[in-house]
Structure 1
Amino acid sequence: MSLPRPALSGPASARPDGAARATAVLLVLGALTYSAWVLEAVVRTGLDPVRSYVSELMATDQPHGDLFRASDLTAGLLVLAAALTALWSGRRARPGRLVRAGWAALALFGAGTAADSRLPLSCTPTADPACAAREDAGLVPFTHTAHAVSSSIAMAAAIAAMLLLTYAARRHGVWRPLARFGPALVAVELAATVWTLASVAAFEAGRDTWALGAGQRLQVLLVAVWLVLLAVSVVTQVRQRRERP
């Protein structure tokens, strides 16, 4: 007589298929809208993508600021909804503290990204010396400081989610695409984050931008790619569970 198969303690072991698919769809849509900054390749922004902050695309004095603010708001709400759906559907699965913390971090990332869109810069400090001077003198709206805080929280939460959920995938032997490719994405994301932070410090010290824009765009692109990888992994886990005898 065969023994009953033990219940997985992994992240997707008992999640209803419908909720898992909804989570995956929301993650993909969130990744796509989070990548709306690539439209700067086809619309005239007047900003140098190698030097400028991604957030400067959303500045209130920019011609397409409304578009980029709307896309960031949508992306944040979609990722927040995905994370909350995963937490809700897994409430009876006992997925483990790491997984719950990972989804919670992803929810915080979504909320922080949505908040970013409501706290736009008023001008573009990397492209406008007068704007940079006003920032240094504290003569810009409070949204500049608030945006810096919300952006930092959002990115820190994204990195935390990437670390926690990728580690959980490898530890529990589930979400196989994430377990396989996630570590490399996380490693490059951490390198891009170091690049971005060093560039911000250089810019604030008056030492040019050190290709700040390129580093930050790589950083946010990798987050979007990881979200798609997580979505694929969630769907893959559903299929594997249904095929299990």
Structure 2
Amino acid sequence: MPPSGTHARPAVVLLALGALAYTAWVLEVLLHTGLDPVQTYVSELAAVDQPLGGLFRATDLTAGVLVLAGSAWALWRCERRPWTVTGWAALVVFGASTVADSRLPLSCAPTVDPECAARETAGLVPATHTAHAVSSSLAMAGALVGIVALTIAARRYGHWAPLARFGPVLVVLELAVTVWTLAAIAAFEAGRGTWSLGAGQRAQVLLVAVWLGVLTYAVARENRV
């Protein structure tokens, strides 16, 4: 039985605020970070040695907590249909992993600091670098599964019309920029440059936030999770 609007509203509010917080990295347009957004990891904004690292760690933590809470509420209240349950569960993983990401920051920025990159290659950086890579991978995997599963749910189960309409396009774009980002990371780790790693990764996280916005609007319009 679908939940009432009152039951859906907490998920709407939490996910909308989470999507907004997840785009806090765009503040780099206004603030002087010293990092090139076309070439650097988004995570490097929150590195321990960066002057605004504390700000970006706080916004990551906020985004993760909000998405975790909103998707957990939705998972609790949603209809027990396979694609719906899978999608909300994946967003729970995304939110929880984003929280972990914020608590496991990089110690330095390897794409702009050759000494940091050399230490990372030699395994001389704190263990948080490896842990951060794991939590970041889990976060993006959760986001991708959630995006695909809930978009399929919207189309297969005949609800969330805005998501059913725009979700497939966002899925294709998200998969394309994910491939770009992974290729760029592989190139950087092989010493072949960054391949505009920062631009690809920023497009990747921006599309996640846009998709969350569409999902939130769809849930709010139909008063159901």
Q: Per-residue displacement from partner, 1:14-44 (whole Å, max 9, x unpaired)?
A: 1121121211111110011010000000111
User: Mind listing any 5+ residue stretches in structure 2 that lack a counterpart?
Assistant: none
The letter for the 2-side match of 1:205 is A
Residue 42 in structure 1 maps to residue 27 in structure 2: no
- 1:148: Cα distance to partner? 0.3
State, as a whole percentage, how many aligned pairs show the same letter.
Answer: 66
Q: State the alpha-carbon separation in 2 of the partners of residues 131 and 238 from structure 1.
A: 49
Q: State the alpha-carbon separation in 1 of the partners of residues 213 and 169 from structure 2.
A: 15
Query: Which one of the candidate residues 31, 44, 58 is aligned to 2:46?
Result: 58
Residue 189 in structure 1 maps to residue 174 in structure 2: yes
TM-score scaled by structure 1? 0.90
| Structure 1 consecutive aligned stretches of length 4 or more whose deviation exceeds 6 Å | none
Q: State the alpha-carbon separation in 2 of the partners of residues 238 and 80 from structure 1.
A: 19
Query: Which one of the candidate residues 68, 77, 81 is aligned to 1:80?
Result: 68
The letter for the 2-side match of 1:41 is V
Query: Which one of the candidate residues 137, 140, 143 is aligned to 1:155?
Result: 140
Q: Secondary structure at the match of 2:223?
A: helix
* Match in the other structure for 1:243: none
Residue 174 in structure 1 maps to residue 159 in structure 2: yes
Q: State the alpha-carbon separation in 1 of the partners of residues 110 and 223 from structure 2.
A: 47
The letter for the 2-side match of 1:40 is E
Q: Secondary structure at the match of 2:69?
A: helix
Query: Which one of the candidate residues 118, 123, 127 is aligned to 2:103?
Result: 118
| Alignment length (residue pairs) | 224
The letter for the 2-side match of 1:219 is Q
Q: Secondary structure at the match of 1:210?
A: coil
* Match in the other structure for 1:5: none
* Match in the other structure for 2:129: 144
Q: 1:87·1:103 contact (CA, 8 Å) conserved in 2?
A: yes
User: Mind listing any 5+ residue stretches in structure 1 that lack a counterpart?
Assistant: 1-12, 240-245
Q: State the alpha-carbon separation in 1 of the partners of residues 208 and 89 from structure 2.
A: 16
Q: Secondary structure at the match of 1:14?
A: coil
TM-score scaled by structure 2? 0.98
The letter for the 2-side match of 1:57 is L
